[in-house]
């Protein structure tokens, strides 16, 4: 069961998507989209993550001696980069291409406003949104986010036409999916799921990784323990691969 109080505001970006819907509607959508989470779909993504991290490392190497930095924005662009590649099959170069910075900032505005609305529940109702600066700002935020989702779908369609031999990704599944009665998702439903995965897939992981790095930096003794554990695991993996 979903608490409608928590989803009234996010619904304005995601519509009635998997994250927001409940009951029979959720079950129907979930059945359609579950193949996306299959382990075999996820396995090849590790190479994509590694490529994306290389881009971030190049970026950070250049500023490593400049003192402390706020990592959240760069990490958000990192998770957005891998999400766009893995889930949407879109090569965006968003870690270096400045035009995506605005998306990360706008998502930040979106979560700030949504959290405030959920916590205080006394913000102006929709009818009055054009009469307050916060309401107008919210409208602008939504408009930007809807356009970004539409742009991702457009880019995907252009790239699909250019490539012959490509792997099936989330957006392919969405575009080709059929319910039991043979009907597919409408354009609006596709856009809603794209928006949901754009947000659910990049903001969560960006927060998780940022907090993880922050804590590793604050507690070097745990950093050492983690490094040791990873080195041991990687050594085992390399040994296994060299024997194969
Ligand atoms: C550290 C990373 C993540 C965290 C902490 C996280 C957290 C959550 C939580 C708490 C929910 C349940 C929300 C609710 O029902 O009220 C959820 C649902 C969901 N998440 Fe994530 N998530 C993460 C990563 C991802 C990623 C990488 C994706 C997609 C690429 C994703 C897609 C979704 C979707 C589609 C749902 C709705 C599922 C459904 O209702 O059937 N999440 N996530």
- CA distance to 175, 225, 233, per residue, from 178 (Å): 9, 48, 41
**Smallest CA separation from ligand 1 atom 26, residue:** 201
| Mean pLDDT for the stretch of residues 14-43 | 86
Question: What pLDDT score was predicted for residue 10?
Answer: 87
**Distance from the alpha carbon of residue 201 to the mean position of ligand 1, in angstroms:** 7
pLDDT above 70 as % of the chain:
93
pLDDT band at 50 (very low <50, low <70, confident <90, very high): very high
pLDDT band at 82 (very low <50, low <70, confident <90, very high): very high
**Distance from the alpha carbon of residue 37 to the mean position of ligand 1, in angstroms:** 11
Question: What pLDDT score was predicted for residue 124?
Answer: 60
* Better-scored residue on pLDDT, 124 or 158: 158
In a mutational test of the pocket of ligand 1, which residue from 8, 200, 202, 211 has the highest number of ligand atoms less than 8 Å from its CB?
Answer: 200
**Smallest CA separation from ligand 1 atom 6, residue:** 204
* Better-scored residue on pLDDT, 71 or 170: 71
| Mean pLDDT for the stretch of residues 19-47 | 85
Question: What pLDDT score was predicted for residue 206?
Answer: 95
How many other CB atoms are there within 10 angstroms of residue 139's CB atom? Answer: 14
| Mean pLDDT for the stretch of residues 140-147 | 94
DSSP classification of residue 184:
B
Highest mean pLDDT among 40-49, 63-72, 172-181, 217-226: 217-226
Task: Please provide the average confidence, as pLDDT, over all residues in the chain.
Answer: 86
Question: What pLDDT score was predicted for residue 78?
Answer: 96
Question: What pLDDT score was predicted for residue 131?
Answer: 80
| 226 pLDDT above the threshold of 70 | yes
| 24 pLDDT above the threshold of 60 | yes
**Smallest CA separation from ligand 1 atom 16, residue:** 2
pLDDT band at 166 (very low <50, low <70, confident <90, very high): low
Considering the entire predicted model, what is its pTM? 0.87
Question: What pLDDT score was predicted for residue 127?
Answer: 60
Scored b (16 or more CB within 10 A) or e, 173-186 reads bbeebeeeeeeebe
- What is the distance between the alpha carbons of residues 68 and 60, in angstroms, rounded to a whole number? 11
| 242 pLDDT above the threshold of 90 | no
| Ligand 1 pocket, CB under 6 A | 2, 18-19, 30, 87, 196-197, 200-201, 204-205, 208
CATH code at position 124:
1.10.630.10
**Distance from the alpha carbon of residue 134 to the mean position of ligand 1, in angstroms:** 28
Helix (H, G, I), strand (E, B) or coil at 169: coil
User: Which residue pairs, CB below 8 angstroms and at least 24 apart, start in 13-16?
Assistant: 13/110, 13/142, 13/145, 13/146, 13/195, 13/199, 14/192, 14/195, 14/196, 14/199, 15/188, 15/189, 15/191, 15/192, 15/195, 16/192
**Smallest CA separation from ligand 1 atom 27, residue:** 201
In a mutational test of the pocket of ligand 1, which residue from 21, 170, 204 has the highest number of ligand atoms less than 8 Å from its CB?
Answer: 204
| 101 pLDDT above the threshold of 70 | yes
- List the domain range (segments joined by +) for residue 114: 4-243
**Smallest CA separation from ligand 1 atom 12, residue:** 19
**Distance from the alpha carbon of residue 200 to the mean position of ligand 1, in angstroms:** 6
Question: What pLDDT score was predicted for residue 161?
Answer: 66
Lowest mean pLDDT among 85-89, 96-100, 176-180: 176-180
Question: What pLDDT score was predicted for residue 229?
Answer: 96
How many structural domains compose the chain? Answer: 1
Question: What pLDDT score was predicted for residue 167?
Answer: 64
């Amino acid at each position: 069961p979903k608490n409608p109080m928590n989803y009234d505001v996010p619904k304005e970006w995601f519509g009635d998507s998997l994250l927001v819907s409940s009951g029979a509607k959720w079950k129907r959508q979930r059945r359609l989209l579950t193949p996306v989470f299959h382990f075999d779909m996820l396995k090849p993504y590790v190479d994509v993550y590694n490529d994306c991290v290389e881009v971030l490392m190049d970026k950070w190497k250049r500023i490593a001696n400049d003192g402390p930095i706020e990592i959240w924005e760069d990490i958000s662009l990192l998770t957005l980069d891998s999400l766009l590649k893995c889930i949407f099959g879109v090569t965006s170069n968003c870690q270096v291409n400045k035009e995506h910075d605005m998306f990360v900032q706008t998502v930040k505005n979106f979560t700030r406003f949504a959290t405030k609305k959920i916590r205080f529940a006394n913000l102006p109702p929709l009818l009055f949104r054009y009469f307050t600066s916060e309401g107008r700002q919210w409208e602008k935020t939504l408009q930007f986010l809807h356009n970004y989702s539409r742009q991702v779908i457009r880019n995907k369609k252009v790239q699909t036409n250019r490539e012959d031999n490509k792997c099936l990704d989330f957006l392919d599944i969405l575009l080709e999916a059929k319910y039991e009665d043979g009907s597919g998702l409408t354009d609006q439903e596709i856009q809603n799921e794209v928006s949901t995965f754009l947000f659910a897939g990049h903001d969560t992981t960006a927060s998780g990784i940022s907090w993880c790095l922050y804590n590793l930096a604050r507690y070097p003794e745990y950093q050492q323990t983690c490094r040791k554990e990873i080195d041991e695991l990687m050594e085992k993996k390399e040994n296994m691969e060299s024997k194969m």
